[in-house]
Amino acid sequence: MYFPGQSESFKQLLAELRGQRVAVLGHLRPDGDCIGSQVALTRVLLSQGIEAVAVNRDEAPRVMQSFIADTPWMRAKDFSPQGHVTINVDCADPIRVGMLLEEMFPQTLANIDHHVSNPNYAQYNFVEPQTAATAEVLAGLFFDHGLPVDPVTAQALYVGISTDTGQFRFPTTTGQVFELCSRLCACGASPGGVARELFEREPLAKLKLLRRFLGSLRLVYGERICIGTLREKDFEETGAAHEDAEGFVDYARDLEGVDIGIFVQEFENQVKGSLRAKTRAYRLDRLARQFGGGGHAPAAGFNQHRPLHEVCALLLKAAEEHLKKMDAEPGA
Ligand SMILES: [Mn+2]
């Protein structure tokens, strides 16, 4: 068994869901793990005769849409919640589903996630902070319980795991990750097909935006922190969408000698910060929390209502302090 500690509770949840209508909710600006998990859980519930639909505030990014296939999928603005119970996937906090869905569903029946900051806010909680992805938790639970994983489900779970591990590069990539992916391939997941959809359909506007982002990179604090920024006008002038900047922060983090990579961008009248480290030791979830955000130890983020230059100044100061503290706390 992959998750023996969750087994009883998962069985109880499935029993409780019989005869119910289930909305499987994901977080704002859904990523591969969120979408993959929603697709997979919705399909598996349907296979058990449980009425289920995936619901999001935001649209799925262009490169993710094919993975949804024929899964029931709705935008929150078109959804009427009456008679539904909810399961949140990949949401560290119930507010991650967005205000509209949070108001529709003040109670969360189940919470399936892998964020270390998740406070177990639902009636049933399946939170595994040691796993690489929510999709890994779901894949394990499905195999543990002999639930049917059809090719679309397998592909969706593979998308979730491969994107949240940075294509199997992050320290969260364990033997269990490969074992589960191997089983997903046996159920019809295609790594080559996923890679083609995700990485070989790049719009030119994205490369133009990347050129600007790379031009903005600055190294500070003994070249241990690298920060890059994009303003709303960078998106407008290149014709790129915000989803095209997904993953740019890795260019900052991936530099030799850099411990913390930072990407700060103007987004929907706010300023969005993304923080990445090469190991869990830097506890970026704590740094993000100082700015009202959260996330994982090696990957965290936040939103702020201040101008971009102010956020950058405050953040660099806090990041330096944070690094000093982490250096002084061996093994923290
Ligand atoms: Mn995730």
Q: Taking each helix axis from N to C terminus, what angle separates 151-164 and 191-199, rounded to the nearest 10 degrees?
A: 60
Between 226 and 328, where is the model more confident? 226
The percent of residues above 70 in pLDDT, for the chain, comes to 99
237 C-alpha vs ligand 1 centroid, how far in Å? 31
CA 88 to ligand 1 center in whole angstroms: 12
Q: What does the pLDDT read at residue 296?
A: 87
Phi, psi at 25, each rounded to 5°: -100, 145
State yes or no: pLDDT of 182 exceeds 70. yes
- Tell how far the Cα of 36 is from the centroid of ligand 1, in angstroms: 10
Residue 156 — very low, low, confident or very high, per pLDDT cuts 50/70/90? very high
* pLDDT score, position 280: 86
**Is residue 245 classed as helix, strand or coil in its secondary structure?**
helix
Least confident of 44-53, 140-149, 185-194, 296-305: 296-305
Q: What are the extents of the domains in the chain?
A: 4-199, 204-328
171 — pLDDT class (breaks 50, 70, 90): confident
> What's the 75 CA to ligand 1 centre distance in angstroms?
20
Q: Which of 266, 250, 268 is nearest to 258 (CA)?
A: 250
Residue 332 has pLDDT above 60, yes or no: no
User: For residues 40 and 179, what is the distance between their CA atoms, to the nearest angstrom?
Assistant: 18
- Amino acid letter at 163? T
Residue 59 has pLDDT above 60, yes or no: yes
> What is the per-residue pLDDT for 331?
56
Pairing of strands 124-127, 225-230: unpaired
> Quick one: pLDDT at residue 329?
81
Q: Which CATH superfamily is domain 4-199 in?
A: inorganic pyrophosphatase (n-terminal core) (3.90.1640.10)
Strands laid side by side in the 73-75 sheet: 73-75, 51-56, 21-25, 84-89, 110-113, 124-127
43 pLDDT above the threshold of 60? yes
Q: What percent of the chain has pLDDT over 90?
A: 94
Average pLDDT over residues 147-155: 98
Q: What is the pLDDT of residue 144?
A: 98
**Residues 137/7, Cβ–Cβ less than 8 Å:** no
pLDDT band at 316 (very low <50, low <70, confident <90, very high): very high
Cα 222 to ligand 1 centre (Å): 31
Helices (H), the chain: 7-17, 32-47, 65-68, 99-104, 134-144, 151-164, 175-186, 191-199, 204-216, 232-238, 249-253, 284-289, 308-328
Check: CB of residue 55 under 8 Å from CB of residue 75.
Answer: yes
Rg (CA), the chain: 20
Do 4-199 and 204-328 fold alike per CATH? no
What number does CATH give the domain 204-328? 3.10.310.30
- Interatomic CA distance for residues 259 and 161, integer angstroms: 24
Arithmetic mean of pLDDT, 153-176: 96
C-alpha 114 to ligand 1 mean position (Å): 6
pLDDT in tens, 72-94: 999 999 999 999 999 999 999 99
- Going from the Cα of 218 to the center of ligand 1, the distance in angstroms, rounded, reads 28
pLDDT of 330: 64
Strand partners, 272: 265, 303
Residues in the chain, total = 332
260-279 pLDDT, tens per residue? 999 999 998 999 999 999 98
